[in-house]
Amino acid sequence: MDINKNVIDHALDTTQDVGRYGEAINLKMEEMRSALEQSTRKMQEQIKKALDSIKVGINGKFPSKTMDYVMRLQKLEVKKQRLEESILKTQEIMDKVQQGVNVTMGDIEFLRGCIQSWLEEKIESYQEEQDRLEKERIEKEEEERKRKEEEERKRKEDEERKRKEEEERRKKEEEERLKREAEERQRKEEERKRREEIERKRREEEERLKREAKEKEEEERRRKDPANWTPYTYRRSDGESDSFHRGICCQVSAMTGTLQEEDLECCASDEWSDMDGPTLAIGEKLTSSLVEVKVKEDQKELKVPTRVYVPHCTVSDSSDEVIVKASIDGGEWIDQHPVTVPAGQISQSLLAVAKTRCQELVVDKNGINQAAAVDKNIRLFVPRDTFRKPNKMKLEIRQIRENSLAFATQYYDHCHNVLSTSSVMAITCETPTEKDIELDLTRNTPNDKKTSEKGRYIHLYKCRGDNWRIADSEIKGKNMDVSINLPNRKDYYVVLEIEGRLGIPSEEFLKAADELYFHSNASIVRIVAKQKADNPHIIMIQCVRRDQVSSRVSELERLGYSLGPDTNKEFALIDGQAITLRCAGNITMTPMSEVKIIFHAYMDTAKEEVYLQAVDEYKQKEFDGYVGQLQFEVLKDDREGALYTKTSGSLPVTLPKRVIDRPRTARARIRFPHYLTTLAKFLAMKLTTQAKDDTWLQVIFSLGSRRDMDNIRRRAATRCETPNNECQICEIILQDWMKSKPVQEDKIKPILRALQDCHKMTLSDECEKFVHIHMNYLSDNCMLEMAKKIENDWCSLARNLGISEDDITACKNVSKGSSEKEAVMMLCKWRVSESVINSGLDVFNDLLGVLETMQNSMGLKEYVRHIVTMINKK
């Protein structure tokens, strides 16, 4: 507006520039109009936006700010109108100027007034604008302050909200954490309980398995413990029961259920001629009979461990121990147990022997220095590296007593120069030694000898299969302790210390060592011969140890052998050495002229009862009886280490002169076995019913000559109750043929052979099984055993078995009131009855069927079931 004022002023002063100013003013006016229109349009747009954003309040009034906008818009319209009027008036004036029309002062004043009014309005509007701006500024500041306060409030609220949310979140997180921890604890507790439960169950299972394993192991250990095994006692077949074995052959035990008594056959013998007996080593003494245990043919293998107990006599020498030697199928005799028995049909021979008690030592690479258990004065030293691996050694000490040494110095040829001797020391090694070993002998005093004569000590040794040698020895200490050196590469040594007379060559003591070694294993014996008082022709001859002579003579006198000579001189025998006995003079033995007995120190086997008779009853009439000698001679023994000293002697024997009555033999009634009777009935029934031809005649004529059998057949036909009854005739023929044969002759095999010759193989097998059943399971002993097991009245059983009332009455009359005997008689009648014959091989099955219908007799049922099982096995 100031520009327009200046333009007007210049126009007034300079008329020449009026046109130019007029154009400039018009241009400015156009610009102002355009600017005003743009400003008005923008203001209107802002007002429109403001009005669009206006929200009427609850009371239906516009906000004060909106009203200010409306008022400003009205004022702006007024100003716009005035400005337009001023611009319009100015344009009119300027048009006049341009056109050359005179402008009056009134126009100028009017224009000035318009401009002044507009300016005043402008100034007023400016002032209002300033006030408005100030107000707006204040409002803005207030709004800003409120906004900031609101923001601060909101910020605090947000912070408080966030704090609360954070606290809530933390609280929730804490609760969740506590919940998770509680759940984790619960889970861990459950897991712990689950693991504990699993562990408990596992421990219980382990304990159960351990308990079961322990019980099984205990059961197996108890089962394998020989003390719990089932024993089977086998009796001797010779019936002898007065000896040390009390009639027992042996006792065999095995784990329960693994062995039956019928699986083995056992027999015992005191005669080496009966079986292949062992060869006893020097120093071994027989203490039992020779026992043979044999597996039966139907028992192909015996895989279970079995323990065999062999009865043996008492060993009187405390220095001896009893061992068992075994031989498999006649093989080498061994004393290492347990004995491994090969599979199949085997025969094992067993024998108990006594030998000097030995001390077992185990020597390793470090060697050993060990004193003997029985004599501390004897010590064995084995240096290091004598054996490459652990080796078993045996140390055996066998004493030579004073009385025995005194006998040896008189009995043997080279021992009279021996003053004293040590024990016989034997060393056995598992493998040969690789270094020399030593044997130390300790004496209690410097002159430890019980002889008054001074002598010298010689130390000797021998090895297996070698002769005696003088050993290298060394004296140690004041007590004259001796260390005896034994060479290497040997596995067996025998050592002996001899105190001999001075001046005697050492070679003499080598021979004396042989005699002393033999004597250490020998027994001093005498021959005892006693005749029976009531029959002097019977004489008992025994070879008895010196310490048993008086007791044996007393025993013979108690048995009636009180006559005869006194004992003879003493001599030495080793166990197993034989003596021959013969008679001389006018007396001889019968039926053998010479008898051999074998001496055993602990066994009462070196005895023989012989019958004496006069050689010529017409000689020696000057004597009251027949006189002769009983001569004996010790036989040479071929065993290693056995020394033969020719020993013989005789004893005077006298027989009374008397007439010997000839004994009469009474003829006993022979009972016909029931199984032959039943066999005749069974075979006659089978031959006459199965075959419709004359096959039974072919079998009959096969039993003997046709003439003899034809005679038997004719006699049988006349005795037959029913004419032309082939079954009855065949039965009578068979019985007559059996009775015509001697008692001791086998009658079963010819019948079986006749059936086989007639091609009756099946019938032959049936007859063989039929006889086996009747001989073994229907014998008298079986009938007695079955009668004992009948619990109720036997009469009811007899009626069920088809026994007639007449037979039952006969059983009662014959047995005289004994229920057991009556039952036996009833069973004996039943076993030969027609029902048993018709049952054939199923007799016990039919009997069991009858017993099943009865309420009691459980013991008899079990017994019959057992027999059925045994028959089925066969």
68 and 95, same domain (yes or no): yes
Mean pLDDT calculated for residue range 368-384:
89
Beta strands in 259-399 (DSSP E): 264-269, 285-286, 290-295, 306-309, 320-328, 347-356, 358-363, 368-371, 378-382, 391-398
Mean pLDDT calculated for residue range 562-586:
85
Among 396-400, 417-421, 670-674, 800-804, the minimum mean pLDDT is found in 670-674
| Nearest C-alpha neighbor of 729 from the set 738, 721, 720 | 720
187 and 249, same domain (yes or no): no
**Residue 668 above 50 pLDDT?**
no
Cβ contact 367:384 at 8 Å: yes
Q: Give the angle 740-746-748 at the CA atoms, nearest 5°.
A: 95
CATH number of domain containing 275:
2.60.220
Cβ contact 342:302 at 8 Å: no
Q: Residue 814 — left, alpha, or beta (φ > 0 → left; ψ -120 to 50 → alpha)? A: alpha
CATH number of domain containing 489:
2.60.220.30
Q: Which helix (H) or strand (E) holds 129?
A: helix 105-224
User: Could you tell me which residues are beta bridge partners of residue 613?
Assistant: 588
DSSP-derived letter for residue 746 is: -
Cβ contact 557:540 at 8 Å: no
115 and 175, same domain (yes or no): yes
**Residues 740-787 pLDDT 10s:** 888 778 888 888 888 888 888 888 888 888 888 888 888 888 888 888
Assigned domain for 664 exists? no
165 and 241, same domain (yes or no): no
**Residues 713-742 pLDDT 10s:** 888 888 877 777 888 888 888 888 888 888
**Residues 235-292 pLDDT 10s:** 887 767 777 778 888 888 887 777 788 888 888 887 654 344 567 777 788 888 888 8
Cβ contact 653:565 at 8 Å: yes
Q: Does the pTM of the predicted model rise above 0.85?
A: no
Tokens matching residue 381: 């030293």
Assigned domain for 224 exists? no
For 376, the domain range is 361-520
Assigned domain for 665 exists? no
What does the longest C-alpha to C-alpha distance in the chain come to? Answer: 236
CATH number of domain containing 602:
2.60.40.2660
717 and 844, same domain (yes or no): yes
Report how far apart, in Å, the C-alpha atoms of 15 and of each of 20, 162, 567 are: 10, 80, 209
In the prediction, which pLDDT does 437 show? 92
Question: 542-552: b or e for each residue (b if 16 or more CB lie within 10 Å)?
Answer: bbbbbebbeeb
596 and 711, same domain (yes or no): no
Cβ contact 330:346 at 8 Å: no
d(CA 561, CA 764): 55
Going by their DSSP bridges, the two strands 368-371 and 347-356 should be labelled as: unpaired
Q: Which helix (H) or strand (E) holds 128?
A: helix 105-224
Which of 356, 385, 414 is at the close of a domain? Answer: 356
The number of folded domains in the chain is: 5
Cβ contact 577:563 at 8 Å: no
Which of 197, 219, 241 is at the close of a domain? Answer: 219
214 and 235, same domain (yes or no): no
Q: Give the angle 551-556-559 at the CA atoms, nearest 5°.
A: 130
**Residue 418 above 90 pLDDT?**
no
366 and 477, same domain (yes or no): yes
Q: Is the peptide bond before 505 cis (omega within 30 degrees of 0)?
A: no
d(CA 40, CA 717): 174
In the prediction, which pLDDT does 275 show? 41
In the prediction, which pLDDT does 429 show? 92
Phi (first) and psi of residue 590, to 5 degrees: -145, 145
In the prediction, which pLDDT does 1 show? 47
Q: How confident is the model at residue 448 (pLDDT cuts 50, 70, 90)?
A: very low
Among 9-23, 159-173, 339-353, 842-856, the minimum mean pLDDT is found in 9-23
**Please, what is the average pLDDT of the chain?**
79
Assigned domain for 667 exists? no
853 and 864, same domain (yes or no): yes
In the prediction, which pLDDT does 180 show? 82
In the prediction, which pLDDT does 432 show? 92
Q: How confident is the model at residue 223 (pLDDT cuts 50, 70, 90)?
A: confident
In sequence order, the 6+-apart residues with CB closer than 8 A to the CB of 180 are none
Report how far apart, in Å, the C-alpha atoms of 509 and of each of 319, 426, 463, 470, 512 are: 26, 18, 17, 9, 5
Among 3-7, 216-220, 429-433, 838-842, the minimum mean pLDDT is found in 3-7
In the prediction, which pLDDT does 336 show? 66
**Residue 510 above 80 pLDDT?**
yes
Assigned domain for 663 exists? no
d(CA 120, CA 83): 12
Give percent of the chain with pLDDT exceeding 90.
Answer: 4
Among 273-287, 325-339, 351-365, 746-760, the minimum mean pLDDT is found in 273-287
| Nearest C-alpha neighbor of 615 from the set 563, 663, 655, 651 | 655
Assigned domain for 381 exists? yes
**Residue 168 above 50 pLDDT?**
yes
How many other β-carbons are positioned within 10 Å of the β-carbon of residue 559?
Answer: 12
Tokens matching residue 4: 């327009």
- 555: helix, strand or coil: helix
Q: Give the angle 559-563-568 at the CA atoms, nearest 5°.
A: 105
d(CA 72, CA 368): 137
d(CA 693, CA 757): 17
**Residues 127-159 pLDDT 10s:** 777 777 787 788 878 888 888 888 888 888 888
**Residues 277-300 pLDDT 10s:** 567 777 788 888 888 888 876 654
195 and 59, same domain (yes or no): yes
Assigned domain for 661 exists? no
HSE-up (13 A, CA, CB side) for residue 136: 10
In sequence order, the 6+-apart residues with CB closer than 8 A to the CB of 663 are none
473 and 532, same domain (yes or no): no
Assigned domain for 666 exists? no
Mean pLDDT calculated for residue range 537-565:
88
In the prediction, which pLDDT does 433 show? 92
Among 125-139, 418-432, 518-532, 828-842, the minimum mean pLDDT is found in 125-139
Among 104-118, 679-693, 795-809, 856-870, the minimum mean pLDDT is found in 104-118
User: Could you tell me which residues are beta bridge partners of residue 581?
Assistant: 595, 632
Which of 603, 629, 656 is at the close of a domain? Answer: 656
d(CA 4, CA 21): 9
d(CA 485, CA 481): 13
In sequence order, the 6+-apart residues with CB closer than 8 A to the CB of 563 are 530, 531, 532, 533, 536
Report how far apart, in Å, the C-alpha atoms of 611 and of each of 537, 630, 648 are: 6, 12, 22
Cβ contact 493:438 at 8 Å: no
17 and 157, same domain (yes or no): yes
